[in-house]
Homo-oligomer: A and B are copies of this chain.
Amino acid sequence: MTYCVGLLLDEGMVLLSDTRTNAGLDNIATYRKMFVFEEPGERIIAIMTAGSLSVTQTTIAQLRERMDGPDADSETSIMKAPTMLRVAEIVGNMLAQVRADVDDKLSTMRQAASASMIVAGQRRGGDMRMFLIYPEGNFIEATEDTPFLQIGEHKYGKPILDRVITRKTSLTDAKKAVLLSMDSTLRSNLSVGMPLDLAVIRRDDCRLSEDRRIETGDDTFRRMSEAWSAALREAFVTVDV
């Protein structure tokens, strides 16, 4: 499985993804699940993926081909699309098409493939927007009331987000919250694993302001994780029943 989370806040966006993929417990690998497409100052689009690797890789590859091809235009390239809504539509249509193709191939084995994505970004002069794209290609959008979107193993890490995240949360607190949300997920579910990819995009910058790979054994992450465990245990002691 996977855990990816994206926050859409007044100050900007924070995105975090793990990198573990598995086909059974004895076939574990590391694959990047966050893909950033950037024309600094003009447009930034980040896509996070969950689900069948054959579907997500092909979808990203096809999006790249449409983007880099000589006939790239506002209808086919996410880097030329006039709005973020149109970007979400292009990604959704591509995901739905690739998933249907892979499903066809798998149907003889009575298997099915599925995938979902978070698409976040901004173009100069436009709004910062974040979408969760379902396997069928339809999507929902993060709003004032629901400022975060999650895909994959989302339940372990949801309580902390429910408690601390609002649109007004600072980017620093937001980074902390997604890392702690990931930390709970890593501890409770083997199918989510290090390293992690963290991206921060400030509102109206239209570029990455932070792009960090957090490796297994990363000192800062380990210290944060230990401090959080200690703080939680202390919080547990202070609460009376």
Contact = CB atoms under 8 A, between A and B. Distances in A.
Given A224-B241, A239-B227, A241-B220, A184 B164 contact: no
Contacts of A239: 176, 180, 224, 227-228, 231
A174 to B, nearest CB: 10
A187 interface: yes
- The binding surface of chain A is classed by DSSP as helix
B240 A164 contact: no
- Copies of this chain, tallied across the complex: 2
A235 to B, nearest CB: 3
A48 to B, nearest CB: 20
Contact of A180 (B172, B227, B236): B236
Contacts of A160: 232, 236
A163 interface: yes
A163 B233 contact: yes
Contacts of A180: 236, 239
Nearest to A234: B235
A129 to B, nearest CB: 25
A18 to B, nearest CB: 16
Interface string A47-86: 0000000000000000000000000000000000000000
B235 A232 contact: yes
A26 to B, nearest CB: 21
A187 B159 contact: yes
A188 interface: yes
Contacts of A33: none
A44 to B, nearest CB: 22
Nearest to A223: B240
A232 B177 CA distance: 12
A176 B241 CA distance: 6
A146 interface: no
Contact of A156 (B158, B224, B236): B158
Nearest to A184: B159
Interface string A168-186: 0000110111011000100
Interface of A: 153, 155-156, 158-160, 162-164, 172-173, 175-177, 179-180, 184, 187-189, 220, 223-224, 227-229, 231-236, 238-241
